[in-house]
Amino acid sequence: MLTPLVEIDVPVQFDAMNGKFNNVLKQMAPFGPENHKPVFEAKGVFVQNALGSFKDKHIRFLAGQQGNEAVFSAVAFDAMEHYEALASGVPFRIAFTLDENTFNGITSMQLRIKDIKFD
């Protein structure tokens, strides 16, 4: 079975992803087939805490990055094959898009993980 290739647009440090960064991304919308959402790469990522799964196939956790103070909520759909490796505490790389998540009236940035690689 062929695995689709995830194309990275730009590497990024978590500390750079702030409200201003998100506002610039919003100016690039609307996203669709002719204007895809930028895909970012982050290295040295680790599970900060709260590794959990839902619907027996998706993973949600707080992601930190080595050398950065910023922490983000992250969700990886259809990624249960990575659960044990994520729980081991080994740093990893991710390809992701940045989404806004609104829950109980509070909006925050969330990483929507497209791929996870363990070096």
Tell me: cis bond preceding 91? Omega within 30 of 0 counts. no
Find out whether 109 and 40 touch, Cβ atoms under 8 Å. Answer: no
- Residue spans of the domains in the chain: they are 10-26+38-117
Spatial neighbors of 25 by CB under 8 A, at least 6 apart, are 38, 98
The rounded average pLDDT for each run of 10 residues, N- to C-terminus, in the chain (119 residues) is 84 96 93 94 93 87 96 95 93 96 91 95
Q: Which CATH architecture has domain 10-26+38-117?
A: Beta Barrel (2.40)
Q: What is the DSSP letter of 32?
A: B
Q: Are 28 and 10 a contacting pair, CB within 8 Å?
A: no
Q: What is the pTM of this model?
A: 0.91
Q: Quick one: pLDDT at residue 113?
A: 98
pLDDT score recorded for residue 1: 65
